[in-house]
Structures are given as structure tokens and as C-alpha cells.
Amino acid sequence: MSVAVAVSGGTDSLVSLYLLKQEGWAPVAIHAFFLPQDQRSEHDCSQLKTCCQRLGVPLYLVDVADKFYSLVVEPFVQSYVQGLTPNPCALCNQKIKFDVLLDKAAELGANYLATGHYARFDRDCSGKYRLWRGIDRQKEQSYFLSLVNKNHLTRVIFPLGQRYKKEVERLFLDCFASFPLKEESQEICFVPKNDYRSFLESFGLELPGPGPIEDRQGKRLGEHSGLHRYTIGQRRGLGIPYPYPLYVLEKRVSENKLIVGSKHELASSHCWVRDMNFIEDWTNWPETVFVQTVYRHQAKRAMVKRGDYTLQVSYEQPRQRATPGQVATFYSEQGQVLGGGLIES
């Protein structure tokens, strides 16, 4: 059995490669170019080649920029046109890393693809595969994996799922002492300077222009500068003098209206989730689940009712309303990932 390791040049993927080599695998490394050639870093690629040479691992460079653009970037842009707030990292995992790169790994003769995600995958006593949170709760990334096809996940290895970030950083320094720890980016990789507003406007699309800002009673309070510039829960940048802080509650695309209100009005008791991906069979879901609608937010108890096309999620306690277009990931109380979908409303 052989394994290909998706390496970005960052700490996590390189340590994953190192660990598999130590465990007796004969891994190969795959570095995927997601961005056009004029946006690539020659320095990072050169350093990556040196690291792989130090481990005695062959490195293969693959260009997936065209597919990344059509499967991730274009849907990202169109989601904003529709008034949604997309999650491109989850979409990239679903469409590129655990689909296109899996095929690339197979072309190289690899049975598995390994990545540096902090998540766990195992089999129960009956041989059924299960996805779990990584043990490092400050770093774990299962939230971004809930849209991945469960059949694809059976061909994936997560070497870091049982490790903590601090331990991984020590391993990197032990193995690659001459290279500095690469600072992790919190930005969207294809959006320059994380300025997604300018990025969207650079496409020359017919984005909605200015329109009214109203409260829930229909009283006009001001004017917004384009709905794509706002997200649910946003407080800063509204430009409205008011006796108490106002938050974005809703974007009414058909009327080009931004609805705002108090923090109390921001609370919600339910949401609807579409395009569900069931990693655990629906018949095995517990009566009460834990749902997470924002990365790093705590998953909260909820009851779920399945309809023809959506799941209706009712929170045990009201919480900040979910943002349409973002991912909702469902867990068991023990941390098993049950599935995920896109928040509709």
C-alpha cells in the first residue's frame, strides 16, 4: 500500500510527510498549484523541494489552477452575487483536495492521500468508517471536512489527528532545523490582501449597488454601499448613529435592503440547511446533535428534522443567527462528524 502526501510547504503537511516516512511508508509528495502562474511563490516552491530532498521523498508538481478557478473561485463570486457568504475552504476540500488530488494520487499509484488536517478517521467494530474531531481543540479542522464525500474519506490519512500543534512545531524544527516555521495564513488564498470586496468588484459583475438600511419594522436608518460588503452579525462599518449598537440581521437581495437590529434581535432559535452530505447514515444520527455554524465557535445542542431538501435545525438555546452560505457541521456528543451542509436561511 502506498500513500501520496499533499504538501503546501507549511509546517503541518511537511510534518505529516515526515511522520509517514518514520512509520515505514514509502510516501510521495504532491504539491498542487491552485493559483495562476503569476501569483505563485518561487521561494516557497524551492524550499519545499529542499525539504522533500532532505527526507528522500520524490516531489510531484501538479497544476490544478483551472479546476480550482471553476470549482472554487467562480462559485465563491456567484455566492456573493446571490447575497450569500460562502466558505471557500470547505468547498476546496470537497471539490479539489479530496477529489481532484485523490485522482492525482491514484495516477501516481498511491492508494491513499494524506494531508496535514487536524482530524481523525477510524473504523468501528463493524468496519464502518467514521470521521472525528482532532484532539487539539484549538486547531482541529473537522468543520471544514464535513462536505467531503464519505467514500473519498476512506482513502484519506490524517497523521496529525492525534497530535497537538505545539508538538507538530517541535517535530518540524527537529527535522527541518534550517527552515523557519512558516506563519500560517488566516486569509483566503486567492484573494489578494484578504480584500474580498475589491476582489469581487474586479470581476466587473453587476453587483447590487447602494440601497436602504432598515430596521425590522421597516424604518429607514441609512444607506448601505452594496450588500456584498456586509455579513450577518456585522456591527462595525454601518455608519449609523444610534443609541445602542446595531448588527446586520438580514440581507434582502430581492429588495436590495440591509436589515439591522439590536444584539437581542440577532439571536435565533433555528436555521435551515441544504445540500446535505451525510458522513454518518441518517438512520444512525442521535436524537440530539451538536451543530457548529462558524469555525472556532462552539458547537451547540440542537434537534434536527429532515425534510425533502433541507434539514430544519432547532437550537436548544437561542444563538447568533447563522449566515446563509456558510457551512453547518453536525457532531455527536463524543465528537463524531455526522455530516454537513450549507446554511440556507
The two domains 3-192 and 209-261 share their CATH topology (first three levels equal): no
CATH of domain 3-192: 3.40.50.620
The pairing of strands 327-331 and 336-343 is: antiparallel
* Model confidence at 190: pLDDT above 90: no
Percent of the chain whose pLDDT exceeds 70: 96
CB 330 within 8 A of CB 337: yes
For residue range 329-342, list pLDDT tens digits in order: 999 999 999 999 99
Identify the band that residue 132 occupies on the pLDDT scale cut at 50, 70 and 90. Answer: very high
Catalytic residue numbers? 92, 189
Q: What is the pTM of this model?
A: 0.91
Mean of pLDDT over the chain: 89
Distances 30 to 8, 63, 267 between C-alpha atoms, Å? 8, 10, 44
Look up the CATH architecture of domain 209-261.
Roll (2.30)
CB 189 within 8 A of CB 35: yes
For residue range 136-164, list pLDDT tens digits in order: 998 999 999 999 999 999 999 999 999 99
Domain boundaries, the chain: 3-192, 209-261, 267-343
Identify the band that residue 186 occupies on the pLDDT scale cut at 50, 70 and 90. Answer: low
pLDDT, average across residues 297-324? 90
Half-sphere CA count of 255, side-chain side, radius 13 A: 10
267-343 carries CATH number 3.90.180.10: no
